[in-house]
Amino acid sequence: MAIAAQTPDILGERQSGQDVRTQNVVACQAVANIVKSSLGPVGLDKMLVDDIGDVTITNDGATILKMLEVEHPAAKVLVELAELQDREVGDGTTSVVILAAELLKRANDLVRDKIHPTSIISGYRLAMREACKYVEEKLSVKVEKLGKESLTNCAKTSMSSKLIAIDSDFFANLVVDAVQAVKTTNARGEVKYPIKSINILKAHGKSAKDSYLLNGYALNTGRAAQGMPTRVSPAKIACLDFNLQKTKMQMGIQVLVTDPRELEKIREREADITKERIQKLLKAGANVVLTTKGIDDMSLKAFLNLLKDLSQYFVEAGAISVRRVRKEDLRHVAKATGATVVTTFADMEGEETFDATYLGHADEVVEERIADDDVILIKGTKNSSAVSLILRGANDHMLDEMDRALHDALCIVKRTLESNTVVAGGGAVESALSVYLEYLATTLGSREQLAIAEFAESLLIIPKVLAVNAAKDATELVAKLRAYHHTAQTKADKQHLSSMGLDLSKGTIRNNLEAGVIEPAMSKVKIIQFATEAAITILRIDDMIKLVKDERENAED
């Protein structure tokens, strides 16, 4: 029920109390329902068509929500939540949204039963802390115990709901090799896996199984001129973020020329400036020049009054120049080779110089042909090793979805390697936590007891949705799952049952740790933390004021 704002000065409408809460919950449920059917190994895909008719086919939660135009402010919180999960962990975006919406729905029911939101919030916070502690202490398993297979199994679990699930064995090995290839140790002695050093190139043609891993950072562009060598070794790389085209006068500068011969000199000087710049690069020892802007093909040589290729300076020096390199790629190449991205040649004195210390180093730079495109490969980089995944596939939609699936799998393998702990997948963690938190709730004598009990119930939404999407009897499967976990937690000799999860292809319960359905423990912990925080943020709202712009001001304007 919308009522006019109480203060006469405020123009707009205000809703408060239960109305707002219900409205927020409904909006969040609507968002969660969109992604709900895409969860799990048999989740369905969504086709999203934007305003200019571009089609995206995906079942990656973050991608779906990013492309939706969400207007409701509370629902936007869920979209941001999926983005945060994507940034922090890389996978589990659908789960986090579904869980947050379920927590909200149950909290709203408690508020209707006259329980104050503050009591619910403190109960949720306590449940979140206890759940995360229980995952880390009781449910997680060190990767060493499971061996290298655990990494491929993590990647397979991440891919199980994606388009490439059918070839997950092949792609999982590809992903694990790629992540291990970029292993680096930072100054503090920590081992890191910068997956940004893995470049993913999409090439039409052949089948998905023809994708492969290339040793070297691949740039999706060719040499600037055909006369240049196709291979340079060892390579000294200059990374430029400006034009190497014929210099032009700045806008707004006027030069009054009375003698036509002076005009010719101006043109000559313009061509010479670029020539000097290129000579400075070559003098510093650069034999590979990458620039984000253009390298002018035609530059006037007033002397001969002929159009000549400006790239010839590079050709004569036996160097490769590459134009229109993406800024992101340039940054990654600079980081991998130890180069400095140069935005201008000007030094403190206003002179133009180029220092040899700005150059990056690599064993070799070669041009290769992949599918119909020329690709520049930078191999044996100095700082951190860089690799490229070349994806093959029938069409753009398939390649894009493969790219998203591999991004998630790369992130999951990175997290597994860095955190070194995994948990069983397929609803095992959620069911175990649900049983544990329900027992915990009965030990408390305060109002938080109800909130924790609801939190425990909410966690079961994940195994329920997984079972429903697989066209199995959710009620029966979840009941069996809870029975197993109750036994695991009450009988000391049955602790191995804590890894029991769903087998969605057969519709039974199995030990998912042994079956190889595993996820990084960090992923589960973050899902619980983020979902709870988002639910609490929306639950705290009890007033919504929509302001309308004062039309009197408009008239005055």
Give the residue extent of every domain in the chain.
217-384
DSSP 3-state assignment of 241? coil
What was the pLDDT predicted at 10?
58
Q: For 253-298, how does the pLDDT look when each residue is reduced to its tens digit (9 = 90+)? A: 777 888 877 777 777 777 777 777 777 777 888 888 888 887 765 4
DSSP 3-state assignment of 124? helix
Using CA atoms, how far residue 304 sits from 248, 299, 351, in Å, is 20, 12, 29
Q: What is the dihedral of CA 527, 529, 530, 536, to 10 degrees?
A: 130
User: Which positions are catalytic?
Assistant: 60, 93-94, 408
What was the pLDDT predicted at 310?
45
pLDDT of 88 higher than 60: yes
Contact 182, 344 (CB under 8 A): no
Using CA atoms, how far residue 127 sits from 1, 89, 118, 133, 455, in Å, is 34, 22, 14, 10, 7
- Report the pLDDT averaged over residues 338-363: 84
How far is residue 449's CA from residue 171's CA, in Å, rounded to a whole number? 46
How far is residue 259's CA from residue 264's CA, in Å, rounded to a whole number? 9
Where are any strands of DSSP class E within 128-219?
A: 141-142, 184-185, 191-192, 198-204, 212-215, 217-219
How far is residue 199's CA from residue 216's CA, in Å, rounded to a whole number? 9
- Vertex 453 angle, CA 449 and 456, to 5°: 140
Residue recorded with tokens 């997950």: 168
Q: For 373-398, how does the pLDDT look when each residue is reduced to its tens digit (9 = 90+)? A: 888 888 888 777 788 898 988 888 88
How far is residue 49's CA from residue 284's CA, in Å, rounded to a whole number? 50
* Domain range 217-384, CATH architecture: 3-Layer(bba) Sandwich (3.50)
pLDDT-derived band at 476, boundaries 50, 70, 90? very high
How far is residue 330's CA from residue 333's CA, in Å, rounded to a whole number? 5
DSSP, res 323: -
- Report the pLDDT averaged over residues 81-97: 88
How far is residue 87's CA from residue 414's CA, in Å, rounded to a whole number? 13
How far is residue 98's CA from residue 92's CA, in Å, rounded to a whole number? 10
Which residues make Cβ contacts (< 8 Å) with residue 240, sequence separation at least 6?
289, 290, 291, 292, 293, 341, 342, 343
Q: For 208-255, how does the pLDDT look when each residue is reduced to its tens digit (9 = 90+)? A: 888 888 888 888 888 877 777 888 888 889 998 877 776 676 777 777
DSSP, res 506: T
